[in-house]
């Protein structure tokens, strides 16, 4: 079963542009909505996470937008930089539950 | 000063062999995990241990056997390796509390190639 759908699969954005990655989920019990960032040869690392009681969270150039009724959340990267080139995973879950369900990943490439 | 360290980083072996991957974390976490990332980058949990007790055991062939000698270590032993076992295996750790307070910390992975 496909509980988490992430799109697009790959994304190319020019330096300085806005990168947008989307995550759709089915399980209404999910209440923890993180995005992980993975560079080549490294493990994923938490980038930003949002609670379900807010619709938006911003940390520097990274923003999560959350739409509870649509069961979707998205990652926006403002002023995208070549150093942002990585694979991004959403991983919604039940808070405190050890089992994260990772999305299929989005390979982001920022071109000069 | 690596938080979650795995050894080896690369492992190339032939079909039918038995191999082990070791993982250690120095974060004081009580929960450790093994994840498998396939060639399409899809990440799937295999096992989770909390205080040396197995709490998640996904549908994984019983050729895979995790072992947690203490809270800081979780090893993965694989018997009778098959071509389909080729992947990157990630160890991770966290505290068993709110995910907001204790997200997953991943190691840098072990790339297993079975020939």
Domain ranges of chain A: 4-111
Determine which of B43, B54, B98, B105 to mutate to test the interface with A (most A C-beta atoms within 10 Å).
Answer: B43
For position B54, which CATH number holds?
A: 2.60.40.10
A10, A89, B29, B88 from A3: Cα distances, Å: 20, 14, 28, 23
Q: How confident is the model at residue A19 (pLDDT cuts 50, 70, 90)?
A: very high
A55-96 pLDDT tens trace: 999 999 999 999 999 999 999 999 999 999 999 999 998 887
Position A98 scores a pLDDT of 72
Q: How confident is the model at residue A2 (pLDDT cuts 50, 70, 90)?
A: low
Q: Quote the minimal CA–CA distance from B109 to chain A in Å.
A: 6
Whole-angstrom distance, CA of residue B68 vs CA of residue B60: 17
Q: How confident is the model at residue A1 (pLDDT cuts 50, 70, 90)?
A: very low
Position A100 scores a pLDDT of 83
B11-60 pLDDT tens trace: 999 999 999 999 999 999 999 999 999 999 999 999 999 888 888 888 88
* DSSP tag of A98: S
Q: Nearest Cβ partner of A41 from B42, B98, B108?
A: B108
Q: Nearest Cβ partner of A99 from B4, B45, B109?
A: B45
* A-chain residues near B44 (CB < 8 A): 102
Residue A99 has pLDDT above 90, yes or no: no
Residue B98's domain comprises: 4-114
From the CB of residue A33, how many other CB atoms can be counted at a distance below 10 Å?
A: 24
Position A105 scores a pLDDT of 96
Q: Quote the minimal CA–CA distance from A86 to chain B in Å.
A: 12
CATH code for residues A4-111: 2.60.40.10
Chain A: residues touching B (Cβ < 8 Å): 32, 34, 36, 38, 41-46, 49, 51, 87, 89, 93, 95-100, 102, 104-105, 107
Q: Nearest Cβ partner of B100 from A41, A43, A49?
A: A49
Position A101 scores a pLDDT of 86
How many distinct structural domains can be found in chain B?
Answer: 1
A105, B88 in Cβ contact below 8 A?
Answer: no
Q: Quote the minimal CA–CA distance from B44 to chain A in Å.
A: 7
């Amino acid at each position: 079963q496909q509980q988490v759908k992430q799109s697009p699969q790959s994304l190319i954005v020019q330096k300085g542009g806005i990168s947008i990655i989307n995550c759709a989920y089915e399980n209404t019990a999910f209440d923890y909505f993180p995005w992980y960032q993975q560079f080549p040869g490294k493990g994923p690392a938490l980038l930003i996470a949002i609670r379900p009681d807010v619709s938006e969270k911003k940390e520097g150039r990274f923003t999560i937008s959350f739409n509870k009724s649509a069961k979707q959340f998205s990652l926006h990267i403002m002023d995208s930089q070549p150093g942002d080139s990585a694979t991004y995973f959403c991983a919604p879950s039940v808070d405190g539950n050890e089992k994260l369900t990772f999305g299929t990943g989005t390979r982001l490439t920022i071109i000069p | 000063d690596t938080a979650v360290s795995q050894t080896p980083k690369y492992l190339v072996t032939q079909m039918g062999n038995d191999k082990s991957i070791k993982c250690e974390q120095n974060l004081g976490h009580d929960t450790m995990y093994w994840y498998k990332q396939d060639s399409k980058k899809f990440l799937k949990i295999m096992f989770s241990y909390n205080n040396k007790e197995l709490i998640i055991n996904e549908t994984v062939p019983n050729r895979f056997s995790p072992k947690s000698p203490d809270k800081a270590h979780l090893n993965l032993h694989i018997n009778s390796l098959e071509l389909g076992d080729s992947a990157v295996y990630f160890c991770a750790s966290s505290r068993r509390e709110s995910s907001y307070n204790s997200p997953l910390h991943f190691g840098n992975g072990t790339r297993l190639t079975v020939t």
